[in-house]
Structure 1
Amino acid sequence: MPYRIDELAEKLGASFEGDGSLIVSGAAEPQTAGEGDLALAMSPAYAAHLAEGRAQAAVVWPGADWQALGLKAAVFAPRGRLAMAGLTALMDPGPAMAPGIHPSAIVDPTADIAADVAIGPFSIIGAGVTVAAGVRIGAHVSVGPSSVIGVDGLIHDGVRIGRRVRIGARVIVQPNAVIGADGLSFVTAEPSFVELSRQTLGVGEVTIPSDPRWHRIHSLGGVEIGDDVEIGAATTIDSGTIRATKIGNGTKLDNLIHIAHNVVIGEHCLFAAQVGVAGSSVIGNRVVCAGKVGISDNITIGNDCVLGGASVILSSVPAGRVMLGYPATKMDVQLESYKALRRLPRILAKLAPRKGE
């Protein structure tokens, strides 16, 4: 929807200068902005491209000479990305989901569905499910028996929610995520070589059990997801074995992440794509994992840790550590080790004996 500059600045909690009555109806990068767009020029580097576009108003950094940039109005953002969060929220209408239950949807008669929900085409709501007020469920979604979706949830197309999954308020689940599938939990009748190798570190003869079959340990624990959580596209969260797999309030998971059975993740964590957390590990609050981080099973990551991209965490990490590498060590140690490794060929070349010596 269109906004006046003065109205927009008020909603963002920001100050403005210039023509407050100017109308903007979208946001754009400076070089592609039209006359009706608000250009995002939160640093001098971005502002240098304003002349390539036709924006009359922009979000700029505090103290920017907006008139010299050829603008008629400017909104000042001390923290640019935070302003982007507010601005994009104002300008995003969200997915178009008609209120009510689509005729092609199948809703079990024992399900408790609030009056103002939206359930899209070909979605299936199982027995004993509770769908709270304001929930929007897209097309081709399935919700397993005895699951709960909290108020104002947004479940995008193709999501699969298993049995006994409890989802808190205002949770967003992106397309094709799977919550509540069975975990990888199997056991052999007698100790297998993989069990013994953890004790022996692989030293000794390979032992082959007389009965090599894997016996399933069924997943009874379900999944519990807190309030204000976001789950990315094609991300999977497995059910716990006996107790629930848990995701804390405010945690945000990117696409293509796997959370194994019995994992506990704390509050306000941020995980980038392709993170994998093995079974029964415990992640503290405010932990940040960059892309492709791997976390071993049955370990603990303390509060406020930062795990750098593609790091592999093989043992527990104390609170507040910044880790990098495979195997992961403190970031400063890892960088020093990497520098030393790169210097090694030159050092060896100097130490090598010369011909005739």
Structure 2
Amino acid sequence: MVHSIADIARALGLQAEGALDLIVTRVAEPAAATPEALALAMDPKYAEGLSNGQARAAILWPGADWRAFGLEAAIFAPRPRWAMAGVSQVMDPGYEFGVGVHPMAYIDPTAQVAEGARIGPFATVGAHSQIGPGARIGANASIAEDVVIGADLTLHAGARIAARCVIGERFIGQPNSVVGGCGFSFVTPEPSAAEDVRATLSGTREIRQQKWQRINSLGAVRIGDDVELGANSSIDRGTVRDTVIGSGSKIDSLCQIGHNVQMGEDCMMCGMAGIAGSARIGNRVLLAGKSAVNDNIFVGDDVIVGGAARVFTNVPSGRAILGDPATKIETQLEIRKALRRLPRLAATVAELQKAIRGQKDS
């Protein structure tokens, strides 16, 4: 990728100074930057790295004295991570999907694939499916029957979209992601041991044999526009109604979304998080890594769920929660302070007990 400093600054909407016609071909950390690299030093803490590297141009913090670092040009970024998002898009060479349809791909004769599709080897498109224009489908990816997908799909190697799913525009499925697998729904002829415990909240129960019978997933998955699904993540199809993922939502790697889940728009779900069946998630909800949401509960708009939190009950809109079980962050911090004091408290109680026993003995 070859770009001038002027082109990059224009694409990012940022101010630039110096030799704006200077050409860079890649980005690099300051200390590792070679002369053809654009150094990313958007915070003063990276200044020392600029001195150790060989960069001629850099993205710097506002007001930085770029000449003092021996640079020939600089771009200034008031919001570093926002600038990082822009420059990463400008400089990303992307992935190789080939040209046209690979001869070793299979497209069912009844499927409709719009103009401009690039489909890799061993990829498949099932019967009656409709793929919008500009699709990029990687090697070994599969799209089952009766699927409808909007424009500019990107489906990386090994990704799967199961039957009858409906997906909006600009969907990105990372390697080995799965949309529309069967929900994890089973039932026993009589109430199961798990049902007994849940009803009584007691470990005392009748022990009996049980055989699981699958409840088939008759629904599908509906996904809005601009949704991304991370590597090895899955969204289960609904039991009767569809599982729904709102536009703009971003789902990290190794995440699980259960059957019938209704997720709003612009949500973010970080690695190893999970949502159990029939939970309802509002708009702009953030689920941090390893967090978990119980089945059949509601999480309101703009909720932030901290890392490894376990959400067992409904959460009002706008709340930030943490812990197991999850509570308001302020409450959780007080709980954790109290836990740290427990050893000292136990020692104090032991001393009091000893003193009381001594008074009784006397």
TM range (shorter): over 0.9
Q: Distance in 1 between matches of 2:101 and 2:283?
A: 38
1:302 and 2:300 correspond: yes
2:247 pairs with one of 249, 260, 282 = 249
Shift of 1:93: 2.1
Amino acid at match of 1:230: E
1:135–1:149 Cα contact (<8 Å) kept: no
> After superposition, what is the alpha-carbon deviation per residue over 1:294-323, rounded to whole angstroms, capped at 9, x for unaligned?
111000111111111111111111111111
User: Structure 1: which amino acid aligns with 2:22?
Assistant: L
Query: Which residue of 2 is the match for residue 155 of structure 1?
Result: 155
The residue number in structure 2 matching 1:124 is 124
Moved over 3 A (4+): 354-357
Q: 1:292 aligns with which of 268, 290, 305?
A: 290
SS of the residue aligned with 1:38?
strand
The C-alpha deviation readout for 1:283-302, integer Å capped at 9, x for no partner, is: 11111111100111000111
1:203 to partner: Cα distance: 5.9
Q: Distance in 2 between matches of 1:203 and 1:177?
A: 37
In the TM superposition, what whole-angstrom CA distance separates every residue of 1:215-255 from its partner, at most 9, and x where no partner exists?
A: 21111111111100011000011000111111110000000
In 1, the alpha carbon distance for the partners of 2:296 and 2:184 equals 14
Structure 2 distance, partners of 1:287, 1:32, is 37
Which structure is higher in helix share?
Answer: 2
CA RMSD of aligned residues (A): 1.4
What pairs with 1:19-30 in structure 2 (closer than 5 Å)? 19-30=19-30
How far does residue 348 in structure 1 lie from its aligned partner after superposition? 2.2
Please state whether the residue corresponding to 1:48 is helix, strand or coil.
Answer: helix
Q: Distance in 1 between matches of 2:212 and 2:69?
A: 68
**8 A Cα contact 2:311 2:325, kept in partner:** yes
Alignment deviations for residues 156-215 of structure 1 (CA, whole Å, 9 cap, x no partner): 000111101111101111000111110011112222232232221126532536xx2222
Q: Cα deviation per residue 1:62-101 (whole Å; 9 max; x = unaligned)? A: 1111111221111011111111111110111211112211
1:258 aligned partner, one-letter code: Q
Structure 2 counterpart of 1:201? 201
Residue in structure 2 matched with residue 106 of structure 1 by the alignment: 106
Within the candidate set 251, 256, 259, 2:257 is matched to 259
State the partner residue of 2:184: 184
Query: What is the rounded CA distance, in whole Å, between the counterparts of 1:204 and 1:253 in structure 2?
Result: 39
In the TM superposition, 1:191-340 aligns within 5 A as 191-202=191-202, 204-206=204-206, 208=208, 212-340=210-338
* Structure 1, unpaired ranges of 5+: none
Whether the 8 Å CA contact 2:193–2:205 is kept in 1: the answer is: no
CA distance in 2: counterparts of 1:37 and 1:17, whole angstroms: 17
TM-score (ref. length: structure 1): 0.96
Report the number of matched residues. Answer: 355
